[in-house]
Amino acid sequence: MAIRYNESSRSFQLDTKAASYVIGVVDAEGFVGHAYFGKKLGEDDVTYLMRTGEGPYTPETNARDRLSFLDSFPMEYPTGGIGDFRESAIVVRSSGGHRALQLTLDSYEIFKGKKPLEGLPATWGSEEDTETLELVLTDKVLKVKAILSYSIFEGIDAVVRSVKLINESDAPVFIDRIMSASMDMDNRDYDKILLTGSWARERRIDRTPVNYGIQGMSSLRGEEGHQTHPFMALLDRTATEDAGDVYGVNLVYSGNFLTLADRGQFDTVRVMTGINPEGFCWKLNPGECFQAPEAVLVYSAEGLNGMSHAFHDLYREHLIRGQYRDRKRPILINNWEATYFNFNTEKLLDIARQASKLGIEMLVMDDGWFGNRFDDNRALGDWFVNEEKLPGGLKYLVDEVNKLGMKFGIWVEPEMISPDSELYRAHPDWAIQVPGRTAGLARNQLVLDMSRREVQDHVFDMIAGVLRSANIEYVKWDMNRPLSDLGSYSLSAERQGELYHRYVLGMYRLQERLTSEFPHILLENCSGGGARFDAGMLYYSPQIWCSDDTDAIERLAIQEGTALIYPLSAMGAHVSDCPNHTVGRTTPFETRGYVALAGTFGYELDVTKIPEADRNMIPEQVAMYHKYNDLVRTGDYYRVASYQQNHMYDCWMVVKKDRSEALVTFIQVMGRANAHSRRILLKGLCPDKTYRIEGEERTYLGSTLMQAGVLVGNLWGDFKGKLIHIVEA
């Protein structure tokens, strides 16, 4: 890990474990260009890759073709309005209404460690394992300054970027667009991977060629949503899980985003990610600064698995925080699919009594415990206990659960308000809505204006009062609808375009307060399932509910797409009831356990009503979780086979960092008639080490298991699974 400046070539080189990122400065004006990102280089000068030695050259030597230069030079952070007709990373409007910005290098600084981003989630590191480059770019006409920040981390092939804009003029400017990162590359017949979906079908992998023009993903829902995700990968057309160049881009943000690839006339590709400019406009007064969210750029020469390892390691080691970052999470049982709104103290205690006997460690009380909440049409915002459902109050229930040796958790939805609530009747102006228009409802609820400090403080005080009233050790924070009808009663007309981003900042502030004042609480984020499963939320909660679709077979695709970027330790996954409440499918209880093991592991059912054979299997699953979770939570994850692609079976494995242990999960989705066993080639083992498969006498070299493979016999029936535990002999 090193960052260095070469004065003779006017270039900056950032070296990670196996990759190099090179930035060059050209022309007397100081244009900053992107030269290289790929396999690790030596000390040779590669700024020739910016092609300034060929036409149209630079303005310094060919002023008559300045526009041709601006429209072809591989800009490190392209600006709008001056002649680069490709997608702009930043557009700033002056008080006179002009949109022209030219940012050129003014100074730089290289230092150990990394600065936090004010009000935003961000990766972090120490002076021992992190190094940062800051490039200070200025526009001498507008007198605005942009600080481009680049951080690298010991042992991880990622470059983390962010941008801060400072207005040093004596007049306001308006930011119409500010992306977090941009990178110009030669197109090498790339494919792109996006994650698509819908509610209960989140993060499905979609691989297609990079075509001419603009393509990508975006959201205007106030979150990334179930439908899209702030991620893109560019990869060689022939790249596989284990070989080929892959570039991954992920935004550390939980609001509206835009991630795109723009393939242009000279077969270059401009990749960028940041806040979605649609509906966004930020007034920046003199002396003020605007901090854009952080973006993560990953390079892998070892295919998609190598990309995933870089993202997983970065997020586990330099993004997730708190007491549970490196700890095994308690096995919980959630009452939502068991009871929905129809529960009381005694029903919850019945579930807890049975669950405690089986080894389950926490009871989570979901929606319906507060206000006049007997269905989802009322009471959001009234965060006080419904004693009709919970006679004796919350403390009595929690104390009784604790007496069983179990922890207690609770569900909240702090960002929402029901029109039928005491809070709305007292403060109708606290809801986001456009005056004079009928606001659209979703799940019969509106969204609180989290851009307002008084709203944040009121909500926090209510929730904190509940948390202080009893021994609550887990919070599930939900958000069940997108933002619409964007209007804030507290913002002036020229600042209404700030509402989307101010909302996200307010939500972040609330979660920061919660995790700071209640550090012992395990926070799990959720948004109608997986609509807010993003890197920004991982900064506040070490796990996120992956999807409301808990069917084991559906989860194969959902969890595969999620694990493309995020570590298994972050994926909320439960064994749920059958027939499954989303798709009506019945799968074996054993298989449901195998699939949930690839996440945080828990239960979403009425343990008092399930078949006795299933109930009797729970202690075995609890033991399975405790045996393998350290490996699953901290090891390297490999995709071995994809049910999305072969439509027959799924297989993944997790390998301990020192290569001494591995766990293979095989799920046979469809049974086959008159077929031989499947040959599965394992991954990630040490070729020269000797291994033993648990339950077998003989041993194998790692090279044998990876190149010759293992045979998995046909399992009788559909939806069957098998674990293969491998240990060093």
Q: How far apart are CA 285 and CA 360, in angstroms?
A: 55
Residue with tokens 């007491």: 323
Q: Is residue 157 flagged as an active site residue? A: no
Name the catalytic one among 15, 157, 245, 478.
478
Nearest by Cα to 229 from 190, 258, 263? 258
Residue with tokens 């030269």: 35
How is 172-189 classified by DSSP, letter by letter? -EEEEEEEEEEEEEE--S
- Which DSSP symbol is given to 669? -
Residue with tokens 């698509």: 196
Q: Are 38 and 24 in contact (CB under 8 A)?
A: no
Q: Are 559 and 567 in contact (CB under 8 A)?
A: no
Q: Are 671 and 642 in contact (CB under 8 A)?
A: no
State the DSSP H helix or E strand holding residue 646, giving kind and residue range, or none if neither.
helix 643-646
Which amino acid would we find at residue 320?
I
Number of H helices, E strands in the chain: 14, 39
Structure tokens at 371: 């206000």
SS (H, E, C) 94-158: CCCCCCCCCCEEEEEEEEECCCCCCCCCCCCCCCCCEEEEEEEEEECCCCEEEEEEEEEECCEEE
- Which DSSP symbol is given to 24? E
Q: How far apart are CA 88 and CA 179, in angstroms?
A: 8
Q: Is residue 548 flagged as an active site residue? A: yes
Burial grade of 240 (CB within 10 A; 0-12, 13-18, 19 or more): middle
Name the catalytic one among 548, 549, 551, 650.
548
Structure tokens at 711: 């045979």
Q: How far apart are CA 259 and CA 594, in angstroms?
A: 34
Residue with tokens 């989290």: 450
Q: How far apart are CA 673 and CA 264, in angstroms?
A: 51
Q: How far apart are CA 195 and CA 206, in angstroms?
A: 6
Contacts of 663 (CB under 8 A, 6+ apart): 628, 631, 632, 635, 653, 654, 723, 724, 725, 726
Structure tokens at 459: 């909500």
SS (H, E, C) 402-460: HHCCCEEEEEECCCEECCCCHHHHHCHHHECCCCCCCCCCECCEEEECCCCHHHHHHHH
Instruction: Kindly report the backbone phi and psi dihedral angles of residue 122, in degrees, each rounded to the nearest multiple of 5, phi listed first.
Output: -165, 155
SS3 call for 673: coil
Enzyme catalytic residues:
478, 548
